[in-house]
Amino acid sequence: MKVLVIEDTPANLALARVVLEHDGHVVITAESAREGIALARSARPDLILLDIQLPGVDGFAATRALKSSTVTRDIPVIALTAHAMKGDRERIAAAGCDGYLAKPFHYPELLELVRQYARRT
């Protein structure tokens, strides 16, 4: 499965890459929403893991942009976020995210979520 990880924290990005590649996935990465949206359009990943708290264009706006494009709207977007307060899950779903994983999370949780989407494709 080709997974696009959009994350602005280099350590989180590197760790996600290692964990996902070790599980057999092809990983492409972006450090900003703008870069991630462009990569999603050109690389057509099977799944997008998206940090919500990105500088400039945040994950909410990025998700809305991805879901409004005919090229990327069918790609599942999973929010990876420290937004774990009451109502955040609803706001993330309203933005168009297909799933949600609160930070900090354990990597087995991430892998299980990715595997669930891999089984759907």
Encode pLDDT of 101-114 as tens digits: 888 788 899 999 99
pLDDT at 84: 63
- pTM of this prediction exceeds 0.85: yes
Set out the domains of the chain in order of their start, with CATH numbers.
13-86+98-120 (3.40.50.2300)
pLDDT at 89: 80
Encode pLDDT of 66-92 as tens digits: 999 999 999 999 998 876 667 778 888
Encode pLDDT of 16-67 as tens digits: 999 999 999 999 999 999 999 999 999 999 999 999 999 999 999 999 999 9
Give how far the C-alpha of residue 99 lies from the chain's centroid of Cα atoms, to the nearest Å.
Answer: 9
